[in-house]
Amino acid sequence: MSPGDGRLSHDLDPSDRGPQDACGVFGVWVPPDEATRAEVSKLAYYGLYALQHRGQESAGIAVSDGDRIVVFKDMGLVAQVFDESVLNTLRGHVAVGHCRYSTTGSPTWENAQPTFRSTDSGGLALTHNGNLINTPELAARLEPGAGLTGTSDTEILTALLATREGGPFAAAEEILPVTRGAYSLVFMDEQTLYAARDPEGIRPLVLGRLPVAGLAGHGGETRQGWAVASETAALDIVGAQFVREIEPGEMIAIDERGLRSRRFAEARPKGCLFEYVYLARPDTTIAGRNVQSTRVEVGRLLAAEHPVDADMVIPTPESGTPAAIGYAEASGIPYGQGLVKNSYVGRTFIQPSQTIRQRGIRLKLNPLREAIKGKRLIVVDDSIVRGNTQRAIVAMLRESGAAEVHVRISSPPVAWPCFYGIDFATRAELIAGNLDVEEIRASLGADSLGFISLDALISATRIAKDRLCRACFDGQYPIPVDEDSRGKFLLEEAGKK
């Protein structure tokens, strides 16, 4: 279930789901006099399409023509929410877009993004990737009768920014320094595109230049647009040239005056290590390091740390493919395909019967019996969360005649939940939170089990250990989390009380 190659967002059995993604954010600004030809809504659509792997519950785009902001959003995939006729009605020169997986608040239309609020001078549309950890504290800053329509941390942040005087830039300078947690924000008013990233820079956010064909400035120079996105792959898709990352603790504004940058907090870099393992597309670059190259290198290191005699290395498609390639290269054991993935399985709203649920793994993956019969197999996957999927795969391979099944995982055991934008299981539900490696092996029914070490994974990223968030692997949270501020449905529970 690959981040960059059509990973499934929901297994047939909810108890069998893996780590669910953060969200994808995208923004674009072009010179106003070229807005119609630039078709910013379609640029936003393609940007979101490139980020679909980061969230598959809902999608939305907000567009401004300079006078008013129009928001269109709905539940479903990007291609389900938008079509040509809808995009043609969204005309303007600035747009922000979002694809969501809920990490705070239920997966409802009210919680879909962009969120919108009226301000004294117009409107504000905001998109958010991450998770705030002081939501009750922020909610207490709202005036009585704030009129919240959703139950997400994003809704509260939008309301705070919209009710401050001086416009979004000044409001953000006041609110963001007291906002704790992970937030990569892309937001807009009628004229300006804004972006901001939390001081730890936990979630990625990048800036790109967007050539606008046939548009010249007063001096004859070619003018340009700008794009902001969760991943560099989204910039590539819309033809934007990568400029740099938005720095941790930095906020930018883009309008006809150009790009302005201001630092609202000191940078304390703690980029998410799990982006390299699972979340980001393989063709994305984070902190100067290509994700695909990192995953292949992890496979090589995994082979050195956990060698085993076998006949073939196979991946769990597609998430295990890069590491399996690296494992095969380093071990000298042939790489092969033992499992076939159904590329057309996506999110389904049809609930399976219990009989189908029990065989649900077959809908996604099916073994190549002739390729694996009688073989000693090394099966490489990116992570183990609950273990249900790997357990089903091991059983399936044995039923298909595999002589031995050795499982290799290209991340350390996930033993701690994430509070910064990934909807992991609770610690009680995480298999590595309750069992040691040998007990996990026995639970999976594998002949052997090996996880990459944390130090080896970090070395493959070429980023210093103290500049990475490793909390899901070692329990060391870079931003302390108050027990009372935890919980996906915190605001909904508070509302009921």
Indicate the annotated binding residues for Mg(2+). Answer: 319, 381-382
Burial of 171-191, coded b for 16+ CB within 10 Å and e otherwise, reads bbbebbeebbbbbbbbbbbbb
**In DSSP terms, which residues pair with 409 in a beta bridge?**
381, 451
The sign of the CA dihedral 341, 346, 347, 351 is negative
**In DSSP terms, which residues pair with 116 in a beta bridge?**
125
**In DSSP terms, which residues pair with 378 in a beta bridge?**
313, 406
At 349, list the tokens: 């709203």
Tell me the binding residues: 272, 319, 381-382, 418, 469, 472
Relative orientation angle of helices 291-305 and 321-331, to the nearest 10 degrees: 50
**In DSSP terms, which residues pair with 335 in a beta bridge?**
313
Q: In whole angstroms, what is the distance from residue 258 CA to residue 226 CA?
A: 9
DSSP 390-441: HHHHHHHHHHTT-SEEEEEESS----S--SSS-BPPPTTT-GGGT--HHHHH
The residue annotated as part of the active site, out of 1, 12, 22, 23, is 23
Tell me the binding residues for [4Fe-4S] cluster: 272, 418, 469, 472
Torsion angle, alpha carbons of 263, 269, 274, 275, to 10: 40
DSSP state of 169: H
Left (φ > 0), alpha (ψ -120 to 50) or beta: where does 437 sit? alpha
In this structure, are residues 137 and 64 in contact, taking their beta carbons and an 8 Å threshold? no
**Alpha-helical segments (H) within 30-111:** 35-38, 40-50, 78-81, 84-89
DSSP state of 111: G
At 453, list the tokens: 């070490």
Q: In whole angstroms, what is the distance from residue 68 CA to residue 65 CA?
A: 6
DSSP state of 20: B
99 is known as an active-site residue? no
Q: In whole angstroms, what is the distance from residue 148 CA to residue 127 CA?
A: 16
Catalytic residues, by residue number, are 23
